[in-house]
Amino acid sequence: MEAIANLENWSVSELELDVDAVLRGQGADPLIIRERRPRLVEIASRALEGSRFLLEPQVFMRKLAVRSLRHEKLELESGHILKGDWITQQFAPAEYIHAIICTVGQKIEIEATRNMDTDIMMGLALDGVGSAGVEALATLVCKQIEDQAADAGLQTTVPFSPGMLSWSVDEGQPFIFEILADINNLVELTPSFLMRPRKSLSMLLGVGKELGVKGSTCDYCAMQGTCKYRGKDGHTQ
């Protein structure tokens, strides 16, 4: 059972962030915004350039071997049991599961809130920077796991986050947070299953020899057809 807190000294410079990512972080379609509201593109650019230093990327992760799968219950080596027909079937062929929490901290959230009263457009753009930052961090972590798996001749599933299709937030969030309880000293789960800091993301990622065609995260998302992140790896609060 392997646990890693703050996987390595993450640098903001490693995060793939651009203005389009910030616009998507605001729930906007970059192509439409660039055509119809160029002023918002300018604001997003200023927000990104002026707030990168506010991002504090941290990752908490545990790698657990899959012990058994019976009766819609997947048991991990730690004794934790993942329940539910849909979510357990996604990990049925996996040999290991990574439980992961990513966050970019509170500073960007505080700055976005501070700006809302005086410059709401900048406040929204800063909020978009936070969303884009945690998405980029999660993508980086998944790529690292995928590369390590490939070096060992293994494959990975798509990352599954609570709230996707038939895996509810109230089922998924406590499961992930319980696994990481002894190493996660930063991200809090509220009674309503929201994460604090808000710019945080939780997920499970499976690793195995023959996982088959995995598609993309968007194929399993309840926001199919409406989300501006479609095809851009993930969703945050």
Residue 213 per-residue DSSP state: -
| The pair of three-digit structure tokens given for residue 192, joined into one six-digit string | 């309503």
Positions in the chain short of pLDDT 70 = 1-10, 212-237
How open is the CA angle 74-169-106, to the nearest 5 degrees? 120
* Cα-Cα-Cα-Cα dihedral sign, residues 83, 85, 90, 93: positive
State the pLDDT at residue 12. 82
Other Cβ atoms within 10 Å of 170 Cβ, number: 10
Considering the entire predicted model, what is its pTM?
A: 0.88
What does the DSSP assignment read for 75-109? Answer: EETTS-EEE-HHHHHHTTT-SEEEEEEEE--SHHH
Query: What torsion, rounded to 10 degrees, do the Cα atoms 159, 163, 165, 170 define?
Result: 120
Average pLDDT along the chain: 88
Peptide bond into 162 cis (omega under 30): no
What are the chain's domains? 2-220 (3.40.109.40)
pLDDT digits (tens, 9 = 90+) for 97-153: 999 999 999 999 999 999 999 999 999 999 999 999 999 999 999 999 999 999 999
How open is the CA angle 90-73-80, to the nearest 5 degrees? 100
How open is the CA angle 13-5-170, to the nearest 5 degrees? 100
Q: Looking up tokens 């406590």, which residue turns up?
A: 174
State the pLDDT at residue 166. 83
Other Cβ atoms within 10 Å of 92 Cβ, number: 12
State the pLDDT at residue 236. 43
